[in-house]
Structure 1
Amino acid sequence: MTETSIPMAAPAALPPWSLDSADRALPPPELGDLVRAAATNWPDRPALHDGRGGLTFAELEGQARALAAWLSEQGVGRGDRVAILAEKCALMPVLAIGIWKCGAVYVPLDAAQPVPRLRSLLGRLQPSAVIALDDREPSVADVRWVGRTQLDGILSRPAPDRPAVAKRPEDTAYIIFTSGSTGEPKGVEISVASLVAYFGNHNEVLRFTPESRVFSLSPFHFDVSIEDTLLPLSLGAFVYQFRGVHAGAIMRAILKRERITHVIAVSTLLTMITEDGRHVTRENFPCLQMVMTGAEVCDPGVINVWKTGLPEVRVINAYGPTEATIVCVTHEIERADAERMSSYPIGRPLRGVAARIVDDGAEVHEQGRAGELWIGGEQVMSGYFDQVEETARRVVEVDGVRYYRTGDMCSYDQDGNIVFHGRNDDEVKLAGRRIHLGEIRQIVLGSPGVERAAVALVPRNGHDVIALVVMAPDRSVVTDVEKRLVDLLPEYMRPALVAWSPELTVSSTGKTDENRLMRRLAEAAEGSTATHFALSPGGDVRPIDGDGDA
């Protein structure tokens, strides 16, 4: 028999969010089989690397099967929650897919958050298992805890090829916790149907293919990690997990060396990669096809640099609350607008997504009139985990369509694109992370001796930072407050500027006059390297050290 007469097995069909029309006619795989086709077609192809180690598609699929088999042996099944103390590394997709293979719910938690906060989240979740990527002491008792040494042993076991447990469309796929206005983090539950719909809707914009090479910057407890890691892996693309220092020169060198085609970066990181703009050339980014930014407002000057330096590269501004499954609105910038002073639009809804702008209970259609953006359709979350009242407050139904009330103030421009203006509450974003200033305020107010507290973003040296003013008769209370914040909040949520005020400062309505307090603090901080200040009743602001000494 000649070589050409040997029958060749037909390649496995990729998921229907593939750009290949032949794949799009087929039903989606179970989430646990997300990379099964890629592992069948290209078993020895590198799937991902994190700078220390990597996995082929066969290794990724095999280790996920091994984890699923072990979890099943422990009685973990459909609907059970498995918490991961997430880190940026090549093993994370193995864990997510392994959890999905046995029908369970993937719950990535920030491994670096304070133990009391982690313990509180695990207490609410009541997970069937907790997997840590180190060998730390268990944070909670009476739960199956897997440390790194045990995990390595599990993943090295033989991997039985069993079909993934079938999940119903309404079953929860994953839970991502975000900062909450009440002081309690909110667990956003995304269903299987919403996630599958998102994959199809968004890849029409992203255009990942088996030849794509994706630069992943997102931490795994942030939902963008599904966009920049699990989605491209499902199509046979390569993903580089960046876990190094966030320095422009380092990131640019990796983008060039790894022949990256797709960059998805929150605005802060894209600004770091851009620096002064002179590095944005085809020589430095030889394979780049797409840059997507979002999660916070991006300086139009940064976007202009990319469209000017690499005009053939698609540059996309994206928007999406966690509650609407990662990304739901996008806008491609066709050409640089050197005269633009305001941010670029966030654009139009993805296919399958509905959007309406609402002001005083009525939908807004006219150009320039601002209202709250509501996102509806198949990507809207199931609800907040164990917070029924909060779900009812944020999710409403109009004409049979469920909408999430985003709290974001938006309007339409002359082209019908949605323009983002800001929040209608005290939720902010720093480096792409959602932070409810109310959560910080609640913790401060819960400290003995605190009468009032003001929390806000203030500008300092060209960047926004979180500032806190503690109003208390006793200055030593500030030290206790800071210790409490260290115990209960991850580092990115802790104030960078802290001030003490011995007297309450109120507005004409009797509320804490946060604007006045923060204006005084910002003016003092702008010309100082100090991080702690005292506000006098007469209006003076002086720097002090962390122990309260001038």
Structure 2
Amino acid sequence: MSSLPALFLENCVKYPERTAVVAGSRTLSYQELAEAAGSLAAELGRRGVSRGELVGVRLARSADAVVAIVGVLLSGAAYVPLDPRYPADRLRLMTEECRITHTVGENVPVWGHPAASVQPELDEDDAAYVIYTSGSTGRPKGCVVTHGNVLSLLDAALPLFDMGPDDRWALFHSINFDFSVWEIWSALATGAAVVVVDEDASLDPGELLDLLIRERVTILNQVPSIFRMLIEAHEDEGCPPLPLRYLIFGGDAVDLEATSRFLASLPAAARPVAINMYGITETTVHSTFKELDPDTLRGSNPSPIGRPLSSLGITLRDPDGVEVPDGEVGEIWVSGAGVAAGYFQRDELTAERFVVVDGTRHYRSGDLARRLPDGEFQYLSRADRQVKLRGMRVELPEIEVALRACTGVKEAAVLLESDEAVGELLVAYVAAGTGFDPGQARAECARVLPSHMVPTRFERRDSLPLSPSGKVDYRALSR
């Protein structure tokens, strides 16, 4: 198989009448999805969109979003997700950098185009999407992922599960989060249904619980911090049985205690298999696989991520790129078929993070881990100042750049901290003059940053503590 459209069209022949997408009261069969996506692809072609061009997709969680993604790929183009909730300045930066002239959901409607049959001529090296992640220099960066990258993920990961056409995958995540790639294409690759979780259910654990039961969802992907809220809703409702077959974690360190408690609340014969998959956008969603069996849940490894997928290799290296001995801490370097093409229009950053050693191309993750005696990996922490908040990657320096531009702010530093009442949150420490107002700073940040990157709490200081080298002493900030 050379491309995602080829995979999709093959399954449309196998499963034409099976349900492909469910969104509330709306359903699309594989044949209906192919017709709608094919019509959109033909319209993009009529508008001059060519192979390899970047097309924006500006749609909320809906069946339309799935049609748009498949349609853009059927046209031979690659899609760039543009979350409607993002600040206008950020969307403008992404649109201008990618030179996007056609955006589905904005100047190109999803529906209403003449029917057409489209057979794209694509290969594994063609770009499938560009997803923007937080940037350490204050500028977000777009990661270019190819059809071959995604196909390698599906080829390596799906055989590790017992999945098929009878499954129903929750599309829980925004298309701006690459977990959605795994959710959509794993379903479409196996003839299963994509069940769209609407905006309300994605934010309300009680509504999500109702949706899982009502729509008979069998496969749910979750960021651990979000899953903890679902557990509370499940317990509040008396721990009703669920149709889940697989519960797949990613995006953050897994919570073994919470997972164990949730599984114990369900009848033994109806417990889903829990899986932890460590991954990075630049290595195409998932890089490792680990079943969270009873021994693992009770074990001494607080953050087990297992072994790399068969399509990937993982080495742990010191700051000079030298492999560290087993048992010692090193940075995760990932090689193999899932390693993305690089960052769009960012050659210098691409060369810095995607490196070739002894003829093998690696991605330097910035994550620290340790190889255990059994050969599996234990995730430890970030090596730089990138953090994960509710599964979303956040470069703290990007927030600091925005804060320094706020009224009255002289200097700023941001930390991810924990609060017993609200959990993890971003705290901004600011050295500010008399004109500083936290509410105004929050509003100014919201004009340039996505909502999940706007600090929750502001702490004013006369000055920020410095290390002997003159840099901000982050360890001293929250003391």
Q: Matched residues in 2 for 1:120 and 1:278: separation?
A: 43
Contact 2:369–2:378 (CA under 8 A) maintained in structure 1? yes
Question: Are residue 271 (structure 1) and residue 231 (structure 2) matched?
Answer: no
Alignment of 1:368-447 (within 5 A): 369-447=328-406
Segments of structure 1 that go 5 or more residues without pairing to the other structure are 1-27, 134-144, 520-550
Q: Matched residues in 2 for 1:177 and 1:206: separation?
A: 29
**Number of residues paired by the alignment?**
472
Q: Matched residues in 1 for 2:173 and 2:36: separation?
A: 22
Of 466, 470, 473, 1:506 maps to: 466
Alignment of 1:55-66 (within 5 A): 55-66=28-39
Which position in structure 2 is the counterpart of 1:51? 24
| Secondary structure, aligned partner of 1:91 | helix
Which position in structure 2 is the counterpart of 1:490? 450
Contact 2:2–2:147 (CA under 8 A) maintained in structure 1? no
Alignment of 1:272-421 (within 5 A): 272-275=229-232, 278=235, 284-285=241-242, 287-308=243-264, 309=266, 313-336=272-295, 339-340=298-299, 343-361=302-320, 362-367=322-327, 369-421=328-380
Which position in structure 2 is the counterpart of 1:526? none
What are the superposed Cα offsets for residues 420-472 of structure 1, whole Å, 9 maximum, x if unpaired? Answer: 11001111111111110110011222346533211001111251100101112
Q: Matched residues in 2 for 1:37 and 1:280: separation?
A: 42
Question: Are residue 464 (structure 1) and residue 424 (structure 2) matched?
Answer: yes
What are the superposed Cα offsets for residues 187-225 of structure 1, whole Å, 9 maximum, x if unpaired? Answer: 000112212111111212244311111122111111111
What are the superposed Cα offsets for residues 284-334 of structure 1, whole Å, 9 maximum, x if unpaired? Answer: 11x322111110112211221244346553211111110000101111112
Displacement, 1:35? 2.7
Segments of structure 2 that go 5 or more residues without pairing to the other structure are none
Which position in structure 1 is the counterpart of 2:210? 253
Q: Matched residues in 2 for 1:471 and 1:40: separation?
A: 62
Q: Tell me whether 115-124 or 252-261 shows the greater mean CA deviation.
A: 252-261
Question: Are residue 89 (structure 1) and residue 62 (structure 2) matched?
Answer: yes
Q: Matched residues in 2 for 1:251 and 1:305: separation?
A: 19
Question: Are residue 78 (structure 1) and residue 35 (structure 2) matched?
Answer: no
Identity of aligned pairs, percent? Answer: 29
Question: Are residue 162 (structure 1) and residue 118 (structure 2) matched?
Answer: yes
Alignment of 1:101-116 (within 5 A): 101-116=74-89
Give the letter for the 2:282 counterpart: E
| Secondary structure, aligned partner of 2:113 | coil
**Alpha-carbon spacing, 1:283–1:504, altered in 2? closer, same or farther (3 Å):** closer
Displacement, 1:280? 10
| Secondary structure, aligned partner of 1:275 | helix
| Secondary structure, aligned partner of 1:195 | helix
Displacement, 1:55? 1.5
User: C-alpha root-mean-square deviation of aligned residues, in Å?
Assistant: 2.3
Displacement, 1:279? 7.8
Give the letter for the 2:436 counterpart: S
Q: Matched residues in 2 for 1:213 and 1:340: separation?
A: 31
Question: Are residue 238 (structure 1) and residue 197 (structure 2) matched?
Answer: no
What are the superposed Cα offsets for residues 368-393 of structure 1, whole Å, 9 maximum, x if unpaired? Answer: x1110001111001110011111111
* TM-score normalized by the length of structure 1: 0.81
Q: Matched residues in 2 for 1:30 and 1:381: separation?
A: 15
Which position in structure 2 is the counterpart of 1:5? none
Displacement, 1:417? 1.0
Contact 2:141–2:344 (CA under 8 A) maintained in structure 1? yes
What are the superposed Cα offsets for residues 82-117 of structure 1, whole Å, 9 maximum, x if unpaired? Answer: 011131111112111111112111111221111111
What are the superposed Cα offsets for residues 470-502 of structure 1, whole Å, 9 maximum, x if unpaired? Answer: 112334365553333111011111000012223
Displacement, 1:230? 2.4
Q: Matched residues in 2 for 1:276 and 1:251: separation?
A: 9
Q: Matched residues in 2 for 1:448 and 1:247: separation?
A: 34
| Secondary structure, aligned partner of 2:447 | helix
Contact 2:332–2:367 (CA under 8 A) maintained in structure 1? yes
Q: Matched residues in 2 for 1:282 and 1:464: separation?
A: 26
Q: Matched residues in 2 for 1:222 and 1:197: separation?
A: 19
